[in-house]
Amino acid sequence: MLGNICNKWVLVAGCLLAGSTAATAESGATQKAVKARGVLNCGVSTGVQTGMSTLDGAAKWTGFEVDFCRAVAAGVLGDPQKVKFVPLEIKTAFTTLQSGGIDLLARTATHTFIRDIELNVEWAGVYLYDSQGFLAKKSLGVKSAKELDGASICVSGGSNYELNLADYFRKNGLKFTPVTANTREQNEKNLEAGRCDVYANVLSALAGAVSKLGSPNDWVVLPELISMEPIGPVVRKDDSRFRDIVAWTLNALIAAEELGITQANVDEMKKSSTSPEVQRLLGVTGDFGVKLGIDNDWAFNTIKAVGNYGEMFARNVGDKSPIKLERGLNNLWNNKGLMSAPLIR
């Protein structure tokens, strides 16, 4: 109520000052602002995305996106709790990032050409290789997406997935009827009620749907995956220093898994590991943190807060979560996956 009045006055005052508040696009500005504020403003999905971001009844945030925000906060501010989560619909996500409303968008945002080039934002790596697939009831007896001619397909309205889906069917000369919904819940309701035959979304979302639909054995994901969706954290293009911090936070998480550093043994490793790589990563030798403009303890704090990449994956969407998404492409490079970190040297 008052917020509204306040906002109006702030708005009027802001409007009058608009001329003088030209955006200060300077490398490192974001990090300075975060330090001064003492809190990282982190955009996530709307709090009802199982495994990605969930705001529970006790007002606690959990999920993969949430953990990544905490990892960055631990690195920059030394405290994973110093995050303000800003739930965003995809339609306002990029504009909020661009206008400075958030420092980092750790939402399930697919890296696309148009977004990268036209929206003046930048992906600081990939934390999830997702693919779009189809979820069907086993009793439907469908073995392949090529058999879906004439099917009704549930899909999120206004999403990438809607475009991928139309492309795929056009390419294969098949017809389908979209049943569009605005939210994942409505899509899941539609699928469960048989309003559509199959549900098209990325695998992480399909796995989330199965975990909610009860009797997971009644459902099958069709073998065809129709797109590769590289999903990663997004920052503003004008601050390359902050991009580096976010990118290397992600790299540290992946490297930690490769080096065998876990949330449980990170103290031990810091004290006694003789591996030069581990020592560099955890800030025992070298001053990699200082070079980034943050503490040398940054990677230690990050891993201490959320564990390594594998732990983060397993806890939120993998085999330790109700979703049980296969690691697949998100395995490390030495385990038939795509995840790898540049060398820390």
Partner 1 sequence: MTQAAALPETGGARPSPLRASNPLTRLLGDLRGRMFGTRRDALLSLAVLAILGSIASAILPWALVNATWTGASRADCTGGGACWAFVASKAPQFIYGFYPPLERWRPDIAFSLLLVGLVWLMVPRIPGKAYAIAFIALVLPITTFLLLRGGFAGLPLVPSDQWGGFMLTMILAVSGITFSLPFGVVFALGRQSKLPLIRWFCVGFIELCRGVPFLTVLFMAIVMLPFFLPPGTKPDPLALAVGGIIFYEAAYMAEVVRGGLQAVPKGQYEAAMAIGFGYWRTMLHIILPQAVRKVVPGVVNTTISLLKNTTLVMVVGLFDLLNIVSAGVSDPLWAGSQAEGYFIVGLVFWLMSFGLSCYSRAIEAGFARADRS
Partner 2 sequence: MTISVPDHPQRSPLGRRRILGWLYQGLLVAGVALIAYVAIGNLYANLAARGLKLGFDFLWQEAGFEIAFHLIPYTASDNYWRVFLIGITNTLLVTVLAIAASTVLGFAIGIAQLSSNWTVSRAARIYVEVVRNLPQLLHILIWYNVALRALPPPRAAHSLGDAAYLSNRGIYIPSLTTDRPGLLALSILLALILALVLFRSLTSYAERTGRTVNAWLPAFAVLVALPALAIVLSGAQVSFSVPHLRGFNFVGGWVIVPEVVALVLAMAIYNAAFIGELVRASIESVNKGQREASAAIGFGWWQTLRFIVIPQAVRVLLPPLSNQYLNILKGSSLAVAIGYPDLVGVFTGISINQTGRAIEIVAMTMGVYLAISLLIGALINLFNRMTRIVER
Residue 12 or 290 with smaller CB distance to partner 1: 12
Distance, CA of 53 to CA of 231 (rounded, Å): 15
**What φ, ψ does residue 199 adopt, rounded to 5°?**
-115, 125
Instruction: Give least dist CB 127 to partner 1, A.
Output: 23
Give the DSSP H/E element, type plus range, for residue 55: strand 53-55
Q: Single out the residue of 28, 29, 46, 82 in contact with partner 1 (rule: CB under 8 A).
A: 46
Residue pair 202/178 in contact (Cβ under 8 Å)? The answer is: no
Instruction: Give least dist CB 212 to partner 1, A.
Output: 4
Residue 280 or 315 with smaller CB distance to partner 1: 315
Buried b (16+ CB within 10 A) or exposed e, 180-217: bbeebebbbebbbeeebbbbbbbbbbbbbbbbebeeee
Q: How many residues does the chain have?
A: 345
Q: Scan for tokens 């070298």, then name that residue.
A: 286
Instruction: Give least dist CB 335 to partner 1, A.
Output: 30
Distance, CA of 48 to CA of 56 (rounded, Å): 9
- 285 lies in the binding site for partner 1 (CB under 8 A): no
Which region, judged by CB under 8 A, interacts with partner 1, from 13-21, 144-152, 261-269, 270-278? 13-21
Distance, CA of 253 to CA of 28 (rounded, Å): 22
- 36 lies in the binding site for partner 1 (CB under 8 A): no
Instruction: Give least dist CB 144 to partner 2, A.
Output: 13
Residue pair 72/246 in contact (Cβ under 8 Å)? The answer is: yes
* Neighbour count for residue 321 (Cβ, 10 Å): 20
Instruction: Give least dist CB 296 to partner 1, A.
Output: 31
Write the DSSP symbol of residue 48: E
**Residues of the shown chain interacting with partner 2 in the complex, contacts defined by CB under 8 A:** 15-16, 18-19, 22-23, 90-91, 94-95, 98-99, 117-120, 140, 148-152, 157-159, 162-163, 165-167, 169-170, 176-182, 186, 189-190, 193-195, 197
Residue 190 or 249 with smaller CB distance to partner 2: 190
CA trace torsion 266, 272, 278, 280 (10° rounding): 110
Q: Single out the residue of 23, 163, 228, 290 in contact with partner 1 (rule: CB under 8 A).
A: 23
Could you tell which of partner 2, partner 1, none binds residue 78, using a CB distance below 5 to 8 A set by kind? none
Residue 160 or 296 with smaller CB distance to partner 2: 160
Instruction: Give least dist CB 274 to partner 2, A.
Output: 49
Could you tell me whether strands 128-137 and 121-123 are parallel, antiparallel, or unpaired per DSSP bridges? unpaired
Distance, CA of 257 to CA of 236 (rounded, Å): 28
Could you tell which of partner 2, partner 1, none binds residue 180, using a CB distance below 5 to 8 A set by kind? partner 2
Instruction: Give least dist CB 9 to partner 2, A.
Output: 14
Q: Scan for tokens 């795509």, then name that residue.
A: 338
Give residues with Cβ within 8 angstroms of 121, minimum separation 6. 94, 97, 98, 105, 115, 234, 235, 236, 237
Q: Single out the residue of 112, 172, 180, 211 in contact with partner 1 (rule: CB under 8 A).
A: 211
Could you tell which of partner 2, partner 1, none binds residue 31, using a CB distance below 5 to 8 A set by kind? none
Residue 58 or 114 with smaller CB distance to partner 1: 58
Could you tell which of partner 2, partner 1, none binds residue 185, using a CB distance below 5 to 8 A set by kind? partner 1
Positions touching partner 1 (CB under 8 A) are 1-5, 7-8, 10-11, 14-15, 17-18, 21, 23, 41, 46-48, 55, 57-59, 84-87, 89, 91-92, 95-96, 99-102, 182, 184-186, 188-189, 192, 211-214, 322
